[in-house]
Amino acid sequence: MSKSKRLLDLMMTVNRKRKFTVKELADEFNVSSRTILRDLQELGELGVPLYSEVGPHGGYQVLNERILPPIAFTEEEAVAIFFASHALRHYKYLPFKQESLSAQHKFYNYMSGDVRDRIDEMKNRIDFLTPVRQAEFPYLSLLLEAATGQKVLLIHYESKGQSKERWIQPVGIYAHNGLWYCPAYCFLRGDIRVFRCDRIRSAGYDSSGPAARDLRHVHLGNKEVYSSHAGQGDESLVRMWVELGHGGVQACEAELWSSPLLHIRADGTGWLEGEIQKSDLGFFARFAIGLCDEATVQEPPELVAEVKRTLTGMLARYK
């Protein structure tokens, strides 16, 4: 085996292992311990984060910031990956902002000159726009860490001008229309709720809080299924029906929350149907009003009344 191939295989091996000894690697590669030591030194000079431990149970270990082994991409794959990362530049806040910029910089600079020229020509020809928001999202990394680690957070959440303390266990985070959201199990409500991340004024771990629930089976794709009020006839729920014109259907298709409620007819019209929280009547009233004559609220009576009340307040502004 050539030295270059051995170094590449060795890099892949040490990235795969959590801990190893020189003898283990020497036996695996069928070379002397001295050769492995020289190879490990070269890997360290190439940037592989190794450190050694002395003693009878010592050996080598790779730090958490592992260096991935080289991967061969086609030109089309390289361009696609670059622009997938390039599209994130419109987000001022990301859970991995600096890492994304660093990876993009490395990826671009290690490409061949002709591929870089092609990317430069395409930069002003393709884009993935998102609205620019003034909101701040300082806790994205913490929320994502808690979601993947099944941990409970104590947050101060601002809603309707008031900041309240909540214990939550995040399910994940997602961006939509320039804002970040965090679906989480709310221990106060005993249910999965969606929190706007810019309304979280503080967040942290606190050992005095409730024990974490087993939410490993809950993720962004199925969070609605595990809502505790689903199908239980909760008194806080009302059934909604809103008739939609063609434009109303198109507007609802752009909303993430509408998927389980939206029904579309063959002619392109449709309707919203399903159970909603009474506390959300104001939101749905304003949404229906925004659709103008493309939406007609039929039920519940409480939502019809909320639409009338909101419109009356709006008209009063223009007297």
User: In this predicted model, what pLDDT tens digit does every residue of 225-280 receive, in sequence order?
Assistant: 666 554 444 568 899 999 999 999 999 998 888 988 999 999 999 999 999 888 88
Task: Give the pLDDT score at 250.
Answer: 95
Q: What is the pLDDT of residue 80?
A: 87
Task: Of 103, 93, 169, 181, give the one whose Cα is nearest residue 137.
Answer: 93
Closest CA to 96 of 41, 148, 32: 148
Q: pLDDT tens across 194-237, in order?
A: 999 999 999 999 989 999 999 999 988 887 766 655 444 456 88
Q: What per-residue confidence (pLDDT) applies to 8? A: 79
pLDDT, residue 231, reads 44
* Cβ 180 vs Cβ 198: under 8 Å: yes
> And the tokens for 268?
């392109």
Residue 156, pLDDT score: 96
The per-residue pLDDT for 89 is 85
- DSSP H helices, the chain, are 3-16, 22-29, 33-46, 75-86, 97-109, 113-122, 140-149, 246-253, 281-290, 301-316
Unique residue bearing structure tokens 């969606």: 194
> pTM for the complete prediction?
0.69
> Whose structure tokens read 């409730």?
210
DSSP 126: -
CB atoms within 10 A of CB 170: 27
Which residues of the chain are modeled with pLDDT < 70?
A: 1, 18, 54-58, 64-72, 225-235
